[in-house]
Amino acid sequence: MAGKARPETTVEGKILVVGETLVDILHRADGTIEEKPGGSCANVALTLGRLNRTPRLLTVLGEDSHGHTARAWLEKSAVWVQAQQAARTSTATARLNADGAASYEFDIEWNLTIEQADPIDALHIGSIAATLEPGAGAVSDLVDQHRGRALVSYDPNIRASLVGNPARTRQRVLSLIGRVDVVKASDEDIAWLHPGEAVDDVLQQWLEMGVVLAVVTAGAAGAIAVTKCSRASVEAVPVTVEDTVGAGDTFMGTLIDGLIAGGVFGRGARQAIATMGPLQLSSLLERCARSAAITVSRPGADPPTREELAQEGTSI
């Protein structure tokens, strides 16, 4: 593995994010094309770095110009990049419509190997890396290693264009959901995983499977969070949308940051979540929604810093 020495972290700062890093090739509605680093898990790590969490990102990169660009982008935001080498850096071609919504085509290389993991406070997995073989097996093993020892979060972030076997992918996703503490999914993810089922019914199913906090985001319709004892919802923050790239990942990273700030990490994570009341959940969701709103107000995956998020009346 390549990368700089790991930065010093606080007691509650040992965060491991595992997943894909790629370069987004953005085709905008006006015909312009630009390339920017991204990837769901890389965006989550970037968000945590911007929020002063110095996360470690276990990923795969090529020794090419795209890989060098992605590494520099992450390290600039205090992400410790622990990259295994690939023949090339993965890419995602994103086509933005007039409303800023993105559709994707992927060229992904995801072949991850792991050794016995060091103790951490929080593990986040998600998206392509959790379901695409051969690396998905290693991600699943990491979940099993840290289950019950760290806060384990998961964002399915389904990429339908990469799904060759929907039934097998659903089975894998639901297996992971049954083994993590926190799941954050979009309403589109839920519609794909549980076609025809009501969102509230799905969230209750996930709680019964073992999740202690289930969150669903629905774009302009806001977000909902549920535990076995509490429920909260929040409206989306009104904003002029530049594009939606990285919005869900910003929400996810801010959610992890907020949980850790509230003492939800390590072996006591599940119990700490179980004691959260509606006001705590509402406050957590409101901060996540504001963070995501800042991201969609500017082009590409560009999450806010802790200082931006803390500002009263931040202009978005």
pLDDT, residue 258, reads 96
Region 130-152 average pLDDT: 95
What percent of the chain shows pLDDT beyond 70?
93
DSSP 77-145: TT-EEEEEEESS-EEEEEEE-TTS-EEEEEE--------SPPP-SEEEEEGGGGTSTTTHHHHHHHHHH
Q: Which amino acid is at 115?
A: E
pLDDT, residue 279, reads 96
Query: How much is the mean pLDDT over the chain?
Result: 90
Residue 241 has pLDDT above 80, yes or no: yes
Residue 159 has pLDDT above 50, yes or no: yes
Q: Give the CATH superfamily of 15-304.
A: Ribokinase (3.40.1190.20)
CA distances from 147 to 48, 190, 194, 224 (A): 21, 24, 25, 25
Residue 11 has pLDDT above 80, yes or no: no
pLDDT, residue 5, reads 45
β-strand partners of 58: 18, 82
Residue 131 has pLDDT above 60, yes or no: yes
Render pLDDT for 249-286 as a digit per residue (tens, 0 to 9): 999 999 999 999 999 999 999 999 999 999 999 999 99
Confidence of residue 163 (pLDDT cuts 50, 70, 90): confident
What percent of the chain shows pLDDT beyond 90?
74
Region 125-132 average pLDDT: 95
Report the predicted TM-score, pTM, of the whole model to 2 decimal places. 0.91
User: How far is Cα 32 from Cα 119, in angstroms, rounded to an integer?
Assistant: 45
Q: Would you state the structure tokens that stand for residue 94, as one six-digit string?
A: 């994103």
3-state class (DSSP) for residue 167:
helix
Residue showing tokens 């392509």:
128
Which of these ranges, 12-16, 105-109, 139-143, 277-281, has the smallest mean pLDDT?
12-16
Sign, Cα dihedral of 135, 138, 144, 148: negative
Q: Where are the domains of the chain?
A: 15-304
CA dihedral 84, 86, 89, 94 (to 10 degrees): -90
**What element of type H or E holds 239?**
none
Region 104-118 average pLDDT: 83
Render pLDDT for 165-222 as a digit per residue (tens, 0 to 9): 999 999 999 999 999 999 999 999 999 999 999 999 999 999 999 999 999 999 889 9
pLDDT, residue 13, reads 62
Confidence of residue 10 (pLDDT cuts 50, 70, 90): very low
